[in-house]
Amino acid sequence: MAYTISDECVSCGACAEVCPVGAISEGEGKYVIDADACLDCGACAGACPVGAPQE
């Protein structure tokens, strides 16, 4: 199952910078993950300062 980004997102972009497949983009008020492209690698979760990306 793909990661999702919770409402705790502060739109810093750290997750998008580390995504190896470019599945993360800026949405309205927070970043969003394209579930079809997500590899479930967890890189985004490790880079996020507030823990917004979750399984």
pLDDT of residue 1 exceeding 90, the answer is no
Helix then strand then coil, % of the chain, to nearest 5 = 20, 20, 65
Name the one residue in this structure whose structure tokens are 């579930």: 35
Q: Which residues pair with 54 in a beta bridge?
A: 4
Residue 20 — pLDDT band, cuts 50, 70, 90?
A: very high
- 0.75 surpassed by pTM: yes
Q: Regarding the domain delimited by 4-54, which CATH topology (the fold level of the hierarchy) does it fall under?
A: Alpha-Beta Plaits (3.30.70)
Cβ-contact 23, 4 below 8 angstroms:
no
pLDDT of residue 42 exceeding 90, the answer is yes
